[in-house]
Amino acid sequence: MLARSPYAERWITCRWGALTATGGGVFRDMLVRELPAILYKGFYTTAAIVGALVLLGLHALGLPEPVQLGAAAVACSALLFYALVKNVNLPTAQRLPEPPEEMTGGKGG
């Protein structure tokens, strides 16, 4: 809750929320020897930022802390669950085609 102290900027809350959520996911994936999902599924950070924004919004409304935390956790988890069930991913960059031979000097890459 340090990020929500009166001395911290609001954007710090969003950054810490995203960092801890994605860091935990990467750590979990590494423990089970899998490729971290954040590298091929771009939705973890987005859901973490949404959860952090929900937390900030409810904090601004003056709701009790347990309500803020619970609602933020539900929002983040629901978004992740929806993405899993519906196979929703953020757009990813497409690989560029191989350059023509004229550009590589005929060396093949």
pLDDT at 67: 95
Helix/strand/coil for 75:
helix
69 or 7, which is more confident? Answer: 69
Distance CA 95, CA 109 (A): 15
35 or 76, which is more confident? Answer: 76
pLDDT at 14: 72
Residues 30, 56: contact at Cβ < 8 Å? Answer: no
Q: Give the number of other CB atoms < 10 A from CB of residue 25.
A: 19
Residues 51, 15: contact at Cβ < 8 Å? Answer: no
pLDDT at 45: 79
Mean pLDDT along residues 92-98: 67
Residue 63 confidence (pLDDT) above 80? yes
Q: Encoding tokens for residue 44?
A: 């973890």
Indicate the pLDDT class of residue 106, thresholds 50, 70 and 90. Answer: low
17 or 49, which is more confident? Answer: 49
Mean pLDDT along residues 61-84: 91
